[in-house]
Amino acid sequence: MSMPYAKLPAWADYGLIPVINLAVAFLVAGFVVLLVGENPFRAAVVLVEGAFGRGQGIAFTLFYATTFIFSGLSVAVAAHCGLFNIGGEGQGYIAGLGIGIVCLAFDSVLPWWLTFPLAIVAAAAMGALWVLIPAYLQAKRGSHIVITTIMFNFIAASVMVYALVGFLKPAISMAPQTRTFLDGAQLPKLNWVIELFGAKIRSAPFNISFLLALAMAILVWVLIWRTRLGYEMRTYGHSAKAARYAGISETRIIIMAMMISGALAGMMALNPTMGDQHNVALEFVSGAGFVGIAVALMGRLHPVGIVLAAILFGMLYQGGAELAFEMPAISRDMIVIIQGLVILFAGALEHMFRPYVQALFASLSPRSVGIEAIKGKGA
Amino acid sequence: MDLFNAIIQVLDSTIRLSVPLLLACLAGLYSERAGIFDIGLEGKMLVGAFAGAASASVFHSAYIGLGMAILISVAFALIHGFASITHRGNQIVSGVAINFIAAGSTIMLGQAWFQQGGRTPALASDERFGAIIWPGADAVRGVPILGPIYSELISGHSVLVYVAFLAVPFTWWVLFRTRFGLRMRAVGENPAAVDTAGISVAWLRYRALICTGVLTGIAGAYLSMVQNGGFVKDMTAGKGYIALAALIFAKWKPVNAMFACLLFGFLDALSIRLQGTPLPLIGKVPVQLMQALPYILTVILLAGFIGKAIPPRAGGVPYVKER
């Protein structure tokens, strides 16, 4: 995460540039809407109204956001250490195995507030274990983590099909999913919080795992900026050479960072399984792990940014569903396009507009980009 | 004789299944040899498949379809180039972005234009690439052993299959016997040296990406116009990633790439063939294990337990000219 260009004021760096990138992404998305013969402005209005217009929409937006906070944090933790965890999808999926086993075993005997911590541990452990081999191979044998985690996504998919068909589904059932969890493994809803503000909600899956997500965001902030391990991770991310010189164990730091990342990705499975569907089904992650990449890039790898970006993507998912309903030419896949455009403009092309913004700042106030300071030193 | 026929059938479907892998794998070879990681193979194949099937059904010509598939796929390759060469962005992030844009836009445009749930209309036989029957294929069918090999395995494929297999020696020739190939390999290992020699690193890498786009376009066209009579949403189904795995398996060499793709295609054909039937000695093998095998093999290879896969040295690193 190096900075190849001169410094901008912090608010421009963390506020203005992401907003410009996002605006361009939406502009291009608007063209796609034009291409299918709809009015992009009306589409935007429907999208925002669908997401925030009613209490129901807000609850769904926050429900989607919950999963994305987890997956965004997962990508961010690895990225701070200079690693790209593209395997959140697989780690979340395989965590469903841990959650499934815990819930099926305890939902009839324990209340939810005892099952939930057990399930959290199981999900985090499965996610972390699933990334252990790729992390070890990266640290010890130098195999590229991106490729190995992609491969593990596919292996996870095969394992889950095998597990669901083989032993997780009830013997009499044909559908490859577990039985519905009993009350002991159903997370309480948080819809009443939104209802406090006077909105009415018929039924929405917004649940207590949202609070867990926020807690994790805080913990990640503490980890990255307030602990020794986080400092070592950031050092390694900036310069592996410097970290080695400083005596930081490469193997340890890579494996730790990736396992924390994997654990966070694993926890994202709690929301759709215990919070919404009350079972573990095929493909229940449905791309949320990949959304995390967009969320982390959009949030500039900072927990606050990630929570905001996750809510933005939650809005896109919820509003996108409404949009597909209102405008038949636009399907929910519009979100996937927007997601791709956000990744492109906020991630791969993040520096495209920087020189222009810098030139603008330099002409308006040279002091803000530090030009004067350098001149002063020279004279 | 039954066993022999079964083997011939499995090998025949091996060829059919490995063609898209092979084309995508060679595509990846061009870009990775030039120092650009490309996990967007999947997306480029997908847009190629969509553009091919859509324009073939609109213009009623398989060749226009193929042309459009190549054109759109190259356009996506150039977006990847724009982000990762011109703007020195993260190549993996850019590849991920391309996969998403491809996955979303093919379904959405397909739905908006054809209203068949993201499919394109079924292609008529003259809008697809038909099988080419080699001379005498029917006459020798009755000859034991050699007859079926000639008439089933060698003859009776579409032109794109032969293109894919001819692309292997061609790629080898380009890579190891032409000036462009030499420079391309150099730019993937040590771009600074190429730059010092007065050759534009960016232009070389762009050309490599154009080759990539052409090949992924053909791969996509094969999927939607040969293997299937039309575009179906998400029809690449991870083939781009298997191709990437095959590329690593092949240690970035064209002839190895062919064998790696044939191996992965064979595993796929075998898993379809063996669904549920027990094997001698091993017993019943879960289908999921067979499906996961290419990925598992790649991880084992990457771990360095079967020889070492060493990627081009400058891969994934944007080139910054010294100022």
State the pLDDT at residue A1.
39
Per the rule left: phi > 0, alpha: psi between -120 and 50, beta: everything else, B38 is: beta
Neighboring chain A residues of B299 at a CB cutoff of 8 Å: 133-134, 137, 143, 148, 151-152, 155
| B118 interfacial to chain A (CB closer than 8 Å) | yes
Tell me the C-alpha distance between B128 and B229, whole Å: 7
Over chain B, what is the mean pLDDT?
A: 86
* Cα separation, A93 vs A126, whole angstroms: 9
The domain at B2-128+146-302 falls in which architecture? Orthogonal Bundle (1.10)
Residues A164-213 have pLDDT tens digits of: 988 888 888 888 888 888 888 888 888 888 888 877 777 888 999 999 99
* A329-345 mean pLDDT: 85
Give residue A378's pLDDT.
42
* Chain B from 250 to 289: CB within 8 A of any A CB: 286, 288-289
Could you tell me the pLDDT band of residue B140, with boundaries at 50, 70 and 90?
confident
> What is the interface pTM, i.e. ipTM, of the complex?
0.86
pLDDT at residue A150 is higher than 60: yes
How far is Cα B236 from Cα B220, in angstroms, rounded to an integer?
8
| Cα-to-chain-centroid distance, residue A243 | 27
Tell me the average pLDDT across B279-305: 77
The residue ranges of every structural domain in chain A are 62-313
Q: B158 φ, ψ to 5°?
A: -80, 165
More confident residue, A225 or A14: A225
For residue A332, the model assigns a pLDDT of 79
pLDDT of residue A300: 85
Which pLDDT does position A126 carry in this prediction? 95
Residues A297, B93: C-beta atoms closer than 8 Å: yes
Q: What is the DSSP letter of A207?
A: B
In A281-340, the residues whose Cβ lies within 8 Å of chain B are 290, 293, 297, 329-331, 333-340
Q: Which of B144, B108, B10 is nearest to A339 (CA)?
A: B108
pLDDT in tens, A103-124: 999 988 889 899 999 999 999 9
Contact B302 A143 (CB under 8 A): yes
Q: What is the mean pLDDT of residues B34-55?
A: 92
Give me the residue from B94, B103, B304 closest to A348, CB to CB: B94
Nearest to B307 by CA among B251, B242, B241: B251
Q: What pLDDT, on the 0 to 100 scale, is given for residue B7?
A: 84
Distances in whole angstroms, Cα of residue A39 to Cα of each of A21, A148, B94, B167:
22, 42, 28, 45
The pLDDT of residue A375 is above 70:
no
DSSP assignment of B12-68 equals HHHHHHHHHHHHHHHHHHHHHHTT---TTHHHHHHHHHHHHHHHHHHHT-HHHHHHH
Q: Which residues of B touch A150 (CB under 8 A)?
A: 39, 241, 244
Q: Phi, psi at residue B131, to the nearest 5°?
A: -75, 145
Q: Contact B12/B152 with Cβ under 8 angstroms? A: yes
Q: Which of A193-202, B20-29, B102-111, B281-290 is predicted most confidently?
A: B20-29
* pLDDT tens track for A279-313: 898 889 888 888 898 899 888 899 999 999 999 88
Q: Give me the pLDDT at residue A51, please.
A: 85
Q: Which of B232, B207, B235 is nearest to B42 (CA)?
A: B235
| CA distance to A2, B237, B293, per residue, from B243 (Å) | 31, 12, 14
The CATH fold of domain A62-313: ABC transporter involved in vitamin B12 uptake, BtuC (1.10.3470)
Q: How confident is the model at residue B277 (pLDDT cuts 50, 70, 90)?
A: low
Which pLDDT score is estimated for A266?
95
- Residue A296's nearest CA partner among A96, A100, A131, A88 is A88
Is the per-residue pLDDT at A2 higher than 60?
A: no
